[in-house]
Structures are given as C-alpha cells and as structure tokens.
Amino acid sequence: MARPANHTTILDEPSHPYLEEELHNGDAAWADFGRWLVSQDSPRGEAILRELELGPGARADDPALVAAYRRVLRVSACGQLVRDMSWRFRWRRGFPERAHFMFAATRHLGPAAFVEERWRDNKPDLDRIAEERVQLEHALGLPEMRFVTHLDLELSEFGKHLARVAQLLALRSWPNLQVLRIGYAHYAPAWMGADEPHEHALVAAEDTAAMLAALPRLRRLELLGHAMFPRLAHPTLLELRLGGHMPVLDGGLSAGARRADRGLDLPRLQRLELAAMNPSGGVRPPLDASLLDLDPRRLPALEHLELQDAELGDAGAGGVFEAVARSEALPRLRTLHLRSFDVADDVRAATVQRLAPRFAHLERLAVDHADADAARHFANLVGPVDPS
C-alpha cells in the first residue's frame, strides 16, 4: 500500500479535559490552559498566551508569535501534514482552527483534467486511492485536531472513502467543531453516476448517526455530492446546505411516500440552502420538486429557505416555484431566496399570479440574477421583491 511521504508520528502534548471543557467560557479559561501547557513545556502555550496578550488586533507577523508558531510546527503532526500538500490549516491559539483537505494529486490536476482522467476514462489509480485513504485516516485521528472549528473535506474517491470518513469522525469526540463541509472533489454529476437511481446511500444509517453524535456543537453542515446519507438527525444543527444531486436520500423521491428512515430530522434547523444540479443538463428543473416535500414536523424551526437555479414551472409541468407554493413548510417561512427565475411567457406568469397569495406572509422575498424588467414583472405578480 502506498503511504504519504514525510509522515512522522509525533506524540502530542498531554490533554487536560477539565481545562479544555472550560475554554468555551472565554479568554480567562484560555489563559489558564495556556499557562498549563507552558508548565508542560509545550510551545502551544506560548502561542496561546502571546495571542491573548496581543488581543483581537494581533498581527500574524508579530516576532514573538512567529517564533512561538515555528516551535509549534516543529512538534506538530498537523504541521508535518502540510508538506504533503493535501492538508491546509489556519492556526489560532496554538492549534489548527480550520482544516481543509483535497488530495494533492487531485488538486494539481484541476477540475477538467480530474474529470477526464478519473471519470470519463474510468481508470482509477489504486495507489492514489490507497494514499488518499491513509492521509485521511492519519489526520482525522490526530489529537491536536480536536480544536478544529471548521473542517472541509473534498474527497477524490467518494465511493470508497465517504463511508470511511464518517466512521473516522465517529471514532472520537469533536467538541469544538462548528462547521463541517463534505464534498466530492471537482464535482461533476453528469460523469459521476448521479443520473443512476439510488435506493441506498453510500454511508450506512448507523454510521451516519454515529458521526453526527460525535459533533455535539455542530451548527452548520454542507454536503456536495449525491447519495451520501440516508437521513440527517441532529438536535442542535442550525444551518444546512445541500448541493449536487440528492446528497440526502428523501423517501419521497424513491419510495413515493415519506419514510422515517430517510430525509431530514432537524428540530432546530433555521436555514436550509438547496443548490441542486441537474446531472444530465436536461430540460427538467435542476431542483427536484419532490425534495421540497418538507415535513414541518421534522423541521419545526425552519424559517429561511434558499434555492439555487429555481426555475418556475407551469401548473402542468410543476417546477420549483409551484413546489414551494404547495409545500407544507411555506407558511412557517420568514424569508425565501430564489437564485433565478423566468416569467417571460404567459403560462408561467399566470402560474405565479395564481400562487402569489401563498407568499404574502413572507418578511423578505429575494431574487438573484434578474434584469430590471423581469424583477418588476415578478414584483407586480407577487409583491415586493428584494434584489439580492
């Protein structure tokens, strides 16, 4: 099995669970933790105390801070990961605060070359697959990653590695992680099988549940791909962005009826962003209307809905605008954001005018990518519209 170059196992400093649990209480707790790390001869403590001394306006080029981080990087396993060019970090208070992964070989190829080599030619490089897996397993198991607040993973081999990533995240607690983004590198659904019917998600239900349980402070989740998870259930998630083609399987799409073991169960979710893609570039709306069969009992706090490439369909053909108008979730919404629309023909205009009263309660209706005439026409049909 191929192994990433320059990997060195470095023992991290001992942790102090009590002090670390108190870090959410502010700078005083961080100062206590920093002094404890200094007492353990850890350069991370020096970096923490110097950043606290400099305050919010701390300059990254402060000589004492630069010197402290040089010492941190010499003993940091994450610092060594940077040499492989797959992991990138932003550091704060002695530890990685933000982490981004894209396999170096994939990053260097770029979108067009990656799609050509990996998907059109359908010639997976087994050594690359093994190496990406080793890098993911190594980094996601490092103790110092426990302070990451933002984690962004772009997987080259999603079919093989997405389930493993879910298992790795579930193996430990991520007490500080607030934003998680998981996507397929250089996502191109037309070449990645998104047109194929999916009855099963890539990640098993039990692994999905275990992963989310390990993220107690998660507030925003972003998913880009297709057939990733069967169901998302989290007690405190506030924001969700779904991109691609059905990253979460909805029972209404494949079974004809809602299913408890699929879809979204997010009692505190306030904002839902749907950035759907039509895999084939065909004529049907890029956002599946049935995805908007949102159950307000499973999303009781949903107030803000944002759609990308929201086409307006007529009464016969359906479409996103009509799907929103008929959604059980619409009466509870406060804001609706449409990325684009078309009311040029009489049939679409008539559909909008007929359904307009259902949107009267909205505090804000915003529309992007509309010229002045179209926006004025839409406003005349529906009511005040904010250009975004």
Both 82 and 134 in one domain: the answer is yes
The answer to whether residue 374 scores a pLDDT higher than 70 is no
Both 71 and 92 in one domain: the answer is no
pLDDT computed for residue 7 by the predictor: 45
Over range 274-299, report the average pLDDT. Answer: 66
Pair of tokens at residue 105: 């070989």
Of 27, 44, 75, the residue at which a domain comes to its end is 75
Least trusted range by pLDDT, from 5-14, 112-121, 174-183 = 5-14
Pair of tokens at residue 294: 């949102």
Both 67 and 85 in one domain: the answer is no
The answer to whether residue 35 scores a pLDDT higher than 90 is yes
Both 101 and 177 in one domain: the answer is yes
Q: Could you tell me the residue range of the domain that residue 47 belongs to?
A: 17-75
Both 115 and 152 in one domain: the answer is yes
The band of 8, judged by pLDDT with boundaries at 50, 70 and 90, is very low
pLDDT computed for residue 6 by the predictor: 47
pLDDT computed for residue 317 by the predictor: 47
- pTM, 2 dp: 0.88
Show Cβ contacts of residue 137 under 8 Å, excluding neighbours closer than 6 positions: 164, 168
Both 139 and 116 in one domain: the answer is yes
6 in a domain, yes or no? no
Show Cβ contacts of residue 101 under 8 Å, excluding neighbours closer than 6 positions: 86, 87, 88, 135, 136, 139, 152, 153, 154
Work out whether the CA dihedral 237, 238, 244, 249 comes out positive or negative: positive
Least trusted range by pLDDT, from 35-39, 292-296, 360-364 = 292-296
Show Cβ contacts of residue 245 under 8 Å, excluding neighbours closer than 6 positions: 189, 194, 226, 276, 277, 278, 279
22 in a domain, yes or no? yes
**Contact in structure between 23 and 175 (CB atoms under 8 Å):** no
377 in a domain, yes or no? no
33 in a domain, yes or no? yes
pLDDT digits (tens, 9 = 90+) for 314-344: 444 446 777 788 888 899 999 988 776 666 6
Least trusted range by pLDDT, from 113-117, 157-161, 184-188, 200-204 = 113-117
The answer to whether residue 214 scores a pLDDT higher than 90 is yes
pLDDT computed for residue 259 by the predictor: 76
Both 113 and 71 in one domain: the answer is no
153 in a domain, yes or no? yes
The answer to whether residue 138 scores a pLDDT higher than 80 is yes
Alpha-carbon span 214 to 185, nearest angstrom: 24
Of 186, 215, 240, the residue at which a domain comes to its end is 186
pLDDT computed for residue 5 by the predictor: 45
pLDDT digits (tens, 9 = 90+) for 146-174: 999 999 999 998 888 999 999 999 999 99
Both 53 and 153 in one domain: the answer is no
Percentage of the chain modeled with pLDDT above 70: 76
The answer to whether residue 112 scores a pLDDT higher than 70 is yes
Quick one: CA torsion of 367, 154, 204, 215, rounded to 10 degrees? Answer: -80
Alpha-carbon span 188 to 186, nearest angstrom: 6
pLDDT computed for residue 148 by the predictor: 96
**Contact in structure between 265 and 258 (CB atoms under 8 Å):** no
pLDDT computed for residue 116 by the predictor: 77
- Helix 27-39 vs helix 43-54: angle between axes, to the nearest 10 degrees? 150
**Contact in structure between 334 and 363 (CB atoms under 8 Å):** yes
Number of domains composing the chain: 2
Q: Residue holding tokens 């402060």?
A: 62
103 in a domain, yes or no? yes
Alpha-carbon span 136 to 334, nearest angstrom: 40
Both 70 and 149 in one domain: the answer is no
Alpha-carbon span 182 to 277, nearest angstrom: 17
Alpha-carbon span 184 to 181, nearest angstrom: 10
Both 39 and 60 in one domain: the answer is yes
138 backbone dihedrals φ, ψ, rounded to 5°: -65, -50
209 in a domain, yes or no? no
269 in a domain, yes or no? no
Both 65 and 151 in one domain: the answer is no
240 backbone dihedrals φ, ψ, rounded to 5°: -135, 130
Both 49 and 93 in one domain: the answer is no
Of 28, 56, 75, the residue at which a domain comes to its end is 75
